[in-house]
């Protein structure tokens, strides 16, 4: 059933000239973004600021999570030139902070870990001062793949828990809650100073107590940064919204998460990569020497 959006979920019309400039760069360099492929509600705002979250390894995912708008099926072969083009795009957009995510590639021997490494290195070659945040799939929990990425030292290593464990069967049925937690734990095991990040969507039917339980689980594995945002169904074929969480509840979640030790962004339009540079700036002040250089 379609639910009418509350007033706090209405977005302003962005500067379309700036939006088209961003789109032109991405199209010319043949790069995918999660902004477009996942139908993010913040796309206009971000593109108007010449900011985009890159999505590597193609635009077809090997999994079919019911909350996600990204296409699923049989992906194409890995584009070995993608990382070089992405590094150039970061330069053209003038990004001092970049977020890179991917589709899940269960078909690849390394689950796409090598492409993340190539992208990290390419961005650094083209943009020596740019901070790099990655948001990865679970790599099937493969320790060698996770270690490979960690050793190339992104500034932030993110992996989203997405929802509470009780909703995985209906929302994230091809993933495993424990595996996701273990991935975040493994990152810290390899490099205890590497900043880790996760995100959760609310409004899927979870309870307050379940959200707090996820927070505790994430802190137990050393997760540093947390994002909490409203789930918005991208199409009639995806999981419907169960509830629109009020701004007041988001403020409460933020306070509760901070009390548990997180650096947190919480709000209706918050997404993993939305204003990620701002959250990193807060983390740098808060975590200090715990951040890698």
Domain assignments of the chain as residue spans, ordered by start: 15-290
Provide the pLDDT for residue 291: 74
Q: What is the mean pLDDT of each run of 10 residues along the chain (293 residues)?
A: 74 83 96 90 90 96 89 93 97 96 97 98 95 97 98 97 96 94 98 96 97 98 97 88 96 98 97 94 84 66
Torsion of the alpha carbons at 105, 108, 110 and 112, rounded to the nearest 10: -40
Provide the pLDDT for residue 178: 97
Q: Is the whole-model pTM more than 0.75? A: yes
Provide the pLDDT for residue 84: 97
DSSP 8-state symbol, 98: E
Provide the pLDDT for residue 14: 76
Residue 95: its H or E element = none
β-pair partners for 220 = none
- For the beta carbon of residue 210, count every other beta carbon within 10 angstroms: 17
What is the C-alpha separation between 253 and 95, in angstroms, rounded? 30
What is the C-alpha separation between 125 and 146, in angstroms, rounded? 22
Based on its alpha-carbon atoms, the radius of gyration of the chain, rounded to whole angstroms, reads: 18
Torsion of the alpha carbons at 181, 184, 190 and 195, rounded to the nearest 10: -160
Provide the pLDDT for residue 235: 83
| Phi, psi dihedral angles at 274 (to 5 degrees) | -70, 120
Exposure string of 166-195, with b = 16+ CB inside 10 Å and e = fewer, is ebbeebbeebebeebbbbbebbbeeeeebb
Provide the pLDDT for residue 121: 97
SS3 181: helix
Q: Position of tokens 């994430």?
A: 218
Under CATH, domain 15-290 is a member of which superfamily? Answer: Aldolase class I (3.20.20.70)
């Amino acid at each position: 059933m379609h639910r009418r959006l509350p007033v706090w979920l209405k977005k302003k019309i962005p500067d379309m000239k700036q939006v088209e400039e961003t789109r032109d760069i991405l199209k010319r360099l043949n790069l995918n973004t999660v902004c477009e492929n996942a139908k993010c509600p913040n796309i206009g705002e971000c593109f108007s600021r010449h900011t985009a979250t890159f999505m590597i390894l193609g635009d077809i995912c090997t999994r079919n999570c019911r909350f996600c708008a990204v296409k699923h099926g049989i992906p194409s072969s890995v584009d070995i030139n993608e990382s070089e083009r992405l590094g150039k795009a970061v330069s053209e957009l003038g990004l001092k902070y970049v977020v890179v995510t991917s589709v899940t590639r269960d078909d690849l021997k390394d689950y796409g870990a090598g492409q993340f490494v190539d992208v990290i290195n390419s961005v650094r070659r083209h943009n020596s001062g740019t901070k790099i945040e990655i948001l990865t799939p679970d790599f099937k929990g493969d320790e060698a793949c996770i270690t490979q990425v960690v050793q190339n030292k992104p500034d932030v290593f993110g992996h989203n828990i997405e929802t509470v464990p009780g909703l995985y069967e209906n929302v994230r049925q091809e993933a495993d809650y424990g595996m996701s937690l273990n991935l975040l734990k493994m990152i810290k095991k390899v490099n205890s100073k590497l900043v880790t990040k996760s995100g959760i969507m609310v409004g899927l039917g979870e309870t307050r107590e379940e959200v707090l339980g996820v927070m505790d689980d994430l802190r137990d594995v050393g997760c540093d940064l947390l994002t909490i945002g409203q789930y918005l169904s991208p199409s009639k074929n995806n999981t419907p919204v169960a509830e629109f969480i009020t701004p007041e509840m988001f403020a409460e979640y933020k306070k509760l998460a901070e009390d548990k030790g997180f650096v947190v962004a919480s709000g209706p339009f918050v997404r993993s990569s939305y204003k990620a540079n701002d959250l990193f700036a807060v983390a740098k002040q808060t975590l200090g020497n715990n951040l890698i250089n």
